[in-house]
């Protein structure tokens, strides 16, 4: 059933989003320019209250739209982005900056429009601290798959000698590079490869141009960190993780996490686990597991 359902608010979203929603709706309903062929609105906010709104249209955006949008962005104190096919107009910034404390250090995260970010800032901070503690202080290297914008990369890099991190999304890679630079983290090499491609590279199945100049054999990997999409790790990537003494796994889907753990059961055991309620009042749950070699 694709019948739209009218919501007057979204209690599980941030207070800032809930404050912006009715005001924004009132403004666009009063403006033919802002309202015409508007079909979607996206919100992204930080714990400090910074906000970015993306308004998506089935029409080209003109100077009249830009003038009204600039006034609206100023009134609401937000960055505002207008999107239509082949067009993207940015008023302010095309990102928000989140700040999270991990083990007494504050990390700054640039979260760009359209890229994946953890949906719950408070719970994300708890996840980061749990992963930081679970990894422990190490004298070897870390392999990270699905690194996104560097959410876990930044704090975990301070626990190891060096990190090789991979991510397939170009937007997320660019954000991660900015975040590494902004936070002064200089022991991370970031490569735009999928987990499947990196598996092929480590297995010497075929060379990759993006790995030129990177000596994979120079790494002494003791741990691997994975934060895969809902589908979990594919069989080849899951098999790859067997090589490592420690597997630190963050999952947004307990079912695929359980399936991957079952695949690893003969070589690794669960030493620590945690649940994180990223989505209050829903059945969705984030999980964290540390597996160590038997």
Please state the residue numbers annotated as binding site for S-adenosyl-L-methionine. Answer: 118, 146, 167, 227
CA distance 45 to 95: 10
Q: Which of 147, 238, 252, 273 is catalytic?
A: 252
Task: Report yes or no: 82 and 88 within 8 Å, Cβ to Cβ.
Answer: yes
Give the dihedral of Cα atoms 116, 117, 118, 121; nearest 10 deg. Answer: -160
Residues of each annotated binding site: 118, 146, 167, 227
Q: Are 29 and 35 in contact (CB under 8 A)?
A: yes
Instruction: Please return the burial class of 176, using the count of CB atoms within 10 Å of its CB with bins 0-12, 13-18 and 19+.
Output: buried
Active site residue 273: no
Closest Cα partner for 60 from 95, 85, 29?
85
Q: Are 225 and 244 in contact (CB under 8 A)?
A: no
As annotated, the active-site residues are 252
């Amino acid at each position: 059933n694709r019948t739209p359902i009218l919501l007057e608010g979204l209690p599980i979203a941030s207070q800032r989003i809930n404050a912006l929603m009715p005001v924004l709706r009132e403004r666009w309903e009063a403006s033919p320019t802002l309202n015409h062929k508007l079909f979607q609105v996206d919100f992204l906010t930080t714990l400090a209250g910074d906000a970015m709104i993306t308004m998506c249209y089935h029409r080209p955006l003109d100077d009249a739209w830009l003038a009204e949008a600039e006034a609206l962005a100023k009134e609401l104190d937000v960055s505002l982005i207008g999107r239509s096919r082949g067009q993207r107009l940015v008023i302010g910034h095309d990102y928000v900056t989140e700040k999270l404390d991990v083990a007494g250090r504050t990390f700054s995260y640039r979260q760009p429009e359209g890229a994946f970010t953890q949906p719950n800032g408070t719970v994300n901070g708890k996840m980061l601290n749990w992963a930081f503690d679970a990894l422990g202080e190490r004298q070897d290297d870390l392999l990270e798959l699905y690194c996104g914008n560097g959410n876990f990369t930044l704090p975990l890099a301070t626990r190891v000698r060096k990190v090789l991190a991979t991510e397939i999304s170009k937007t997320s890679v660019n954000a991660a590079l900015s975040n590494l630079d902004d936070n002064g983290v200089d022991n991370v090499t970031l490569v735009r490869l999928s987990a499947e491609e990196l598996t092929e590279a480590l297995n010497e199945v075929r060379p990759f141009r993006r790995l030129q100049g990177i000596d994979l054999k120079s790494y002494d990997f003791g741990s691997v960190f994975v934060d895969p999409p809902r589908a979990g790790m594919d069989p080849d990537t899951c098999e790859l993780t067997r090589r490592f003494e420690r597997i630190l796994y963050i999952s947004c889907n307990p079912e695929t996490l359980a399936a991957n753990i079952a695949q690893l059961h003969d070589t690794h055991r669960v030493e620590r686990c945690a649940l994180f309620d990223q989505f209050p009042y829903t059945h969705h749950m984030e999980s964290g597991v540390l597996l160590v070699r038997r």
